Amino acid sequence: NAGVMQNPRHLVRRRGQEARLRCSPMKGHSHVYWYRQLPEEGLKFMVYLQKENIIDESGMPKERFSAEFPKEGPSILRIQQVVRGDSAAYFCASSPRENVNNIQYFGAGTRLSVL
Amino acid sequence: AQKVTQAQTEISVVEKEDVTLDCVYETRDTTYYLFWYKQPPSGELVFLIRRNSFDEQNEISGRYSWNFQKSTSSFNFTITASQVVDSAVYFCALSYTGGFKTIFGAGTRLFVKA
């Protein structure tokens, strides 16, 4: 029973390139959440998606960042024209449709380094 | 507004010592959930415990125990007889019914020396 799968685990980009981070939720989970962890800080909420819908993106930077969760396939967090300040660990979490326990199951994260 | 404060940035102990990690939270919701996560040097997040706001019973799991006190809005975590493998960053977190964000504290880095 696979957990939340994120890939790649490590991603290196040069300034100005695009970064694509993928997240496959746990089997049977239809809700996905993205969090960002800057160095030496806690995780900060970015966006909450259900299949084909963005429910809340209040934590997303206004520019260059976008997220999707298509009907088929993984959720994608896309960062265009990366800058050094985007270097961080990006965590994805998932939950079932009726999340009565309010538990989000986290993936191992993708560590983005921008050179 | 919801907020989680972990005042201890780093703690260093010697193996076999007991150590308590503090967590203070703020919320206006009457129904909410508190969590502790462990982040070892490898970087993944390991779920340790979830507690809902109506259950103030303390919990013990092996060497780990948690003390939830609504009167002081605290949810402290104690490791008894610490081991080197306990070295990690520990996060306290808060979510609420109907909400979808988990709000994390800044974390406490625990060093356990042999």
d(C-alpha A56, C-alpha A34), whole Å: 11
Considering only CB atoms, which chain A residues are within 8 Å of B23?
Answer: none
- Give the residue-averaged pLDDT of A83-112: 88
Q: Of the candidates A45, A55, A108, which has its C-beta nearest B44's C-beta? A: A108
Considering only CB atoms, which chain A residues are within 8 Å of B4?
Answer: 42
Mean pLDDT of chain A: 92
- The answer to whether B56 contacts chain A (CB < 8 Å) is no
Q: pLDDT for B24-77, tens place per residue?
A: 999 988 889 999 999 998 888 888 998 889 888 888 889 999 999 999 999 999
- Give the residue-averaged pLDDT of A4-24: 97
- Give the residue-averaged pLDDT of B69-89: 95
Q: pLDDT for A72-93, tens place per residue?
A: 999 999 999 999 999 999 999 9
Q: Is A87 exposed, middle or buried (0-12, 13-18, 19+ CB in 10 A)?
A: middle
Between B110 and A40, name the one with better pLDDT.
Answer: B110
Considering only CB atoms, which chain B residues are within 8 Å of A41?
Answer: 106-107
